[in-house]
Copies of this chain bind each other. A is one copy, B any other.
Amino acid sequence: MGDICDEQSRVLTMKTINPRAVEMEYAVRGPIVTRSVSLMKELEAGAQKPFSKVLQANIGDCHATGQNPITFIRQVVAACVCPDMMDSCNFPDDVKNKARRILQGCKGKSVGSYSASPGVEVIRQDIANYITKRDGQKASSDDIILCTGASDGIKTILNLVMTGKDGCEKAGIMIPVPQYPLYTATLTEYNAHPIPYYLNEENMWSLDVSELERAFKDAKGKCVPRAICVINPGNPTGQVLTRKNIEDIIRFANEHKLMILADEVYQHNIWAKGSAFFSFKKVMTEMENGKYSKTELASFMSCSKGYMGECGFRGGYAEVVNLLPDVKAILLKSISAKLCPPILGQVVMDTIVNPPQPGEPSHELFEKEKSEVLSLLKRKAEIVTQLFNSIEGIKCNEVMGAMYAFPRIFLPPKAVKAAEAQKQSPDFFYCMDLLETTGICTVPGSGFGEKPGTYHFRITILPKLEEMQAVLEKFKEFHLNFLKKYQ
């Protein structure tokens, strides 16, 4: 709307601004979410809507939807922030001990000082111990890099595998479709070439190696393939990869000389019977007598998901193994200008990898709070799957893990046409209508990528159980009306 005269005097216009920033999309916080925020403000101001409350089911933001923090985590953080309070505030001994141990590892014994760029050394050690215990395979603190949420770690590693070149010399990065949009957003920002591979919706969103081969072949001549990203448990798809599937991916990556980026932030969120989480690190170390144990791998973890859901602390880590020493040195240099990740995010990460042990004063409460969150999420995962599958025109794979359902919606041709007339993707059109009619905020499947001609949306399983049930009923009503409207 700026007048021309105004445009001409500006440094930054839509013509001069970084075109990659214009192109970049991140649907989890896209226009539907923006509209949901406006709707909230309208409701607050007394506007009449067909609903009394906006339900933000667009983002895996556990505490925003009412999940309570784990007492032990918060007490350790508070004790680190105000060490003088430890005694006067009656913190349990294990809280105090942990806080003292971490502070001992901070410069000047203050969480206000910078840590080394890869993080506080004792915390890196605790993470290595956690991985060692989880995998039954030795991990080293030298391979641990703490980061500002897993997103920051993923961007750091992707930056490393870039070629710095253009056209067919761009780095090619294999990414799942559908996929958490941080990947496509970052590849756009970095001017890299995405090599999309489709997850198999017909087979529980599994990852077929034949599809990886197809995608790799298709990318020939278009880029220099460098890495494959795998999200397990899946986001937005909720699948949990089998050990056999992971082995196949590792073989594929080695055959084609690809670094593996394993996004394993939902490792605590496994719901399906018979499913289990296997880390890429464990599998590659153990398969075929260690033949693949030298694979270049980065695995990412976060304090934002699991049972803790401490998104606001921006804590996370990457375990990066099998880099050549001089390459490792470049990695460490590349993170140095960021100074360090937030210390309290590191502290939260520590409480998760090194929780209270049996016999310690906080153990019982910690386990109780943890299992309450996880069992509730498990129930919601089941309910959501069941309910969506009970609705005409919707098909939803089992939510095996993570925090989302990603149902497929079969839209009538008239709805597709109506969307196209508005230059919207049909699932965007659907999700916007859903929001305006019911107040339920979701993310259209197009924001994650999907097979052409298929439509989906992502909805979190985080709202409170009682709310969830009411919401799903409301959703059902909307959906059937939508079908009727465009039949």
Interface residues of A (CB under 8 A from B): 1-2, 6-7, 9-14, 16-22, 24-26, 28-29, 37, 56, 59, 61-67, 69, 74-75, 77-78, 81-82, 85, 88-90, 106-108, 110-117, 148-149, 151-152, 159-164, 166, 181-182, 185-186, 189, 191, 226-227, 257-259, 294, 296, 308-314, 323-327, 330-331, 333-334, 336-345
Query: Is A164 touching B20 in the complex (CB atoms < 8 A)?
Result: yes
21 interchain pairs (CB within 8 A)? A11-B257, A12-B259, A12-B327, A13-B324, A14-B326, A17-B327, A26-B333, A59-B114, A61-B107, A64-B108, A65-B108, A74-B82, A78-B78, A78-B82, A111-B313, A148-B148, A149-B339, A166-B166, A181-B337, A312-B340, A314-B339
* Cα–Cα distance between A327 and B19 once the two chains are bound (Å): 11
Tell whether A342 pairs with B327 under 8 Å between CB atoms, given A12-B160, A112-B69, A112-B309: no
**Contact across chains for A312 and B159 when beta carbons are under 8 A apart:** no
Nearest Cβ distance between residue A13 and chain B, in whole angstroms? Answer: 6
Report whether B160 and A312 are in contact in the complex, using a CB–CB cutoff of 8 Å.
no
Give the chain B neighbours of A22 by CB distance below 8 A: 330
Inter-chain contact B324/A342, CB cutoff 8 Å: no
Which of B11, B182, B314 is the one whose CB lies under 8 Å from A296? B11
Closest CB in chain B relative to A315 CB, distance in Å: 9
Write out the residue numbers on chain B whose beta carbons fall within 8 Å of the beta carbon of A311.
112-114, 339
Q: Does the CB pair A85–B81 fall under 8 Å?
A: no
Complex Cα gap A326–B10 (Å): 12
Judge whether A18 and B327 touch: CB under 8 Å. no
Q: Give the contacting residue for A26; candidates B9, B64, B161, B336; CB below 8 A.
A: B336
Of B88, B159, B296, B342, which is within 8 A of A342 by CB?
A: B342
Residues of B within 8 A of A337 (CB): 24, 26, 29, 151, 181-182, 185-186
Residue numbers in B under 8 Å from A66 (CB-CB): 108
CB-CB < 8 A to A191: which residues of B? 164
CA distance A112 to B343 in the complex (A): 15
**Copies of the polypeptide in the assembly:** 2
- Is A164 touching B343 in the complex (CB atoms < 8 A)? no
Contacts of A149 in B (CB 8 A): 338-339
Considering the chains assembled together, what is the distance between the CA atoms of A77 and B82 in angstroms? Answer: 9
20 extra interchain contacts, Cβ-Cβ under 8 A, other than A21-B333, A63-B112, A64-B107? A6-B324, A9-B257, A10-B296, A11-B259, A14-B327, A18-B161, A26-B336, A29-B336, A29-B337, A62-B112, A77-B81, A77-B82, A89-B89, A106-B312, A113-B311, A151-B337, A159-B189, A182-B337, A314-B314, A314-B340
Once A339-B151, A342-B345 are accepted as A-B contacts, the answer to whether A310 and B112 lie under 8 Å apart by CB is yes
**Distance in Å from the Cβ of A225 to the closest Cβ of chain B?**
9
Interface contact B85-A89, CB-CB below 8 Å: yes
CA distance in complex: A373, B41 (Å): 43
Q: Measured between alpha carbons, how far is A445 from B14 in the docked complex, in Å?
A: 39
CB closest residue in chain B, given A8: B257
A75 touches B64 (CB 8 A): no
Closest to A69 in B: B112
- Known contacts A110-B69, A312-B110; decide if A12 and B296 are in contact (CB<8 Å): yes
A-B pairs, 6 with minimum CB distance: A64-B107, A312-B343, A63-B110, A64-B113, A29-B336, A63-B112
Q: How far is the CB of A156 from chain B (nearest CB, A)?
A: 10
Contact, CB under 8 Å: B85 / A78: yes
Q: Which residues from B are CB-within-8-Å of A19?
A: 163-164
Q: What residues of chain B lie closer than 8 Å to A37, measured between beta carbons? A: 116
B313 adjacent to A112 (CB under 8 Å): yes
Q: Are A333 and B64 in contact (CB under 8 A)?
A: no
Point out the residues of chain B lying under 8 angstroms from A2, CB to CB: 324-326
- Across the two chains, which residue of chain B brings its CB closest to A253? B11
CB-CB < 8 A to A334: which residues of B? 21, 24
